[in-house]
Amino acid sequence: MAQSGMLTRKFKEDELLSSLFIQSIYEENNFKNHIQKIETNILSNDSAGIISTIDEQFNKLYDEIPGAYTTDEESKCCRNINYYFDLLYSIIKSTDKLSNVNLKKVIAQIEQKWEKVPNISDINICKRETDLDSIRRRCILKHLHDLKIDKNFISSFPDDYKNYLGEKWNKIIRYINPNNKLYIKIENDFMGIIEQYNNFLESSDLICNTKLDDISTDDIKISTNLDSLMNSISLKKFTTKDPEKGCYNKNYIEILKIKASSIQRINNILSSGIIILGLSLILVLIFRFSPLRSLLRGCTKMKVEVDENMNEEIESELYDDFENERASISYHSVSH
């Protein structure tokens, strides 16, 4: 029981280190209210209202960015701003309430705002593609980074953080994985993860204390075919000198064990085959190049000669018996 007078710490989204970049909109549920306002305008097919709401929020964000990031934190800035853009994009693209014309107006406005993100020395660092796979990969990378940043909050508020993740990714997931059929594989020499896409984003279990900036887009595979992803897992990737410092989830480890076991069985079969083949070759060489061959040949020749002699003797005896029998018959015939 908590002692009287002790303060109970509560989970607050605006205190999360991963959300400080948009502190202005997380305060007092401003972010939720902001999204609800956009969704209300969508239902009314009010593109002007949507654009006005987005403009107001972008201005707040742009004012906050210069003081929130240093030059060496550009990648962090890009991940965080991209999350906001991806969220807006997902909400707007997944609706059927906006007319085609209004939809294009809103999308064009969002993309125009992105080009004006301040305090980024090279906008290509934050290059934002809007195809589904690009959004999916960005969400994966942001989630990994955020878990690492928020690990202390996660240990203190595991249930609250899990609920927070559900709200954080729900609207984006409805656009990028509406049927919940996607699986992901992340694999390199310090990381191995295979998981259902939605489960991955909604889980706080995988906190990777590795160099997440070293993950390339080629390390991330996304597919509806789980078997294909599992079959593509490579034992050669698991070569880190300090595997305990790597980041591997349970599914990936189990598949590695199965693949290693299968390879061991194949190696055992091959080893047995090689042993049998080796013994056969040794016997052939012994027979061909050792005195055993001459001995066997001599024995065989001797056996053939013995058999031939025996056959001749048997034939001779049969012939003699036959002649004697004829003589006996002749004698008896004359007597009579």
Choice between 131 and 120, residue whose per-residue pLDDT is larger: 131
30, part of any domain: yes
Residue 42 lies in a domain: yes
Is residue 197 situated within a structural domain? no
3-state DSSP: the chain helix, strand, coil percent, rounded to 5?
Answer: 75, 5, 20
Question: Average pLDDT of 213-229?
Answer: 92
| Lowest mean pLDDT segment, chosen from 69-73, 154-158, 288-292, 332-336 | 332-336
Of the three residues 130, 163, 187, the one that is the final residue of a domain is: 130
Concatenating the DSSP letter of every residue in 243-299 gives GGGSEE-HHHHHHHHHHHHHHHHHHHHHHHHHHHHHHHHHHHHHHHHSHHHHHHHHH
Q: Is residue 325 scored above 80 in pLDDT?
A: no
Instruction: Specify the range with the lowest mean pLDDT, choosing from 8-17, 70-79, 179-188, 275-284.
Output: 275-284
- Establish if 47 belongs to a structural domain: yes
Neighbours of 54 (CB within 10 A): 21
What would the two tokens of residue 184 be? Answer: 């992901």
**Helix, strand or coil, per DSSP, at residue 192:** strand
Q: How does pLDDT run across 256-273, given as a tens digit for each residue?
A: 888 766 555 555 555 666
**106, 130, 154: which is the final residue of a domain?**
130
The predicted pLDDT at position 335 comes to 43
Which of 11-25, 124-138, 191-205, 275-289 is the least confident region?
275-289
Q: Considering just the CA atoms, what is the radius of gyration of the chain in Å?
A: 41
Cα distances from 42 to residues 51, 103, 239, in angstroms, run 11, 9, 51
Residues 6 or more apart whose CB falls under 8 angstroms from that of 20 comprise 68
**Number of domains into which the chain is organized:** 2
Domain termination residue (choose one: 130, 163, 185):
130
For residue 107, is it within any domain?
Answer: yes
pTM for the whole thing? Answer: 0.74
- Strand order through the sheet with 220-223: 220-223, 183-187, 191-196, 247-248
Q: Is 11 helix (H, G, I), strand (E, B) or coil?
A: coil
Examine residue 301 and state whether it is found in any structural domain, yes or no: yes
C-alpha to C-alpha distance for 13 and 17, rounded to whole angstroms: 9
Cα(91)–Cα(112) distance, integer angstroms: 18
- ∠111-115-119 over CA atoms, to 5°? 140
The pLDDT assigned to 31 comes to 77
**Can you read off the two tokens belonging to residue 11?**
């989970």
What separation in angstroms does the CA of 102 have from each of 14, 81, 160, 296?
Answer: 33, 23, 37, 97
**Which among 148, 123, 139, 226 has a CA at the least distance from the CA of 174?**
139
Classify strands 247-248 and 183-187 as parallel, antiparallel or unpaired. unpaired
pLDDT: is 158 or 239 the higher one?
A: 158
Range of the domain at 101: 9-130
Does residue 256 lie in a domain region? no
Check: CB of residue 139 under 8 Å from CB of residue 203: no
Spatial distance between the Cα atoms of 92 and 79, rounded to a whole number of angstroms: 20
The total number of residues written for the chain in this structure: 336
Q: What is the pLDDT of residues 175-215, one digit of tens each?
A: 999 999 999 999 998 899 999 999 999 999 989 988 898 89
120 close to 78: Cβ distance less than 8 angstroms: yes
Q: Is residue 207 part of a domain?
A: no
Q: CA 149 to CA 151: how far, in whole Å?
A: 6
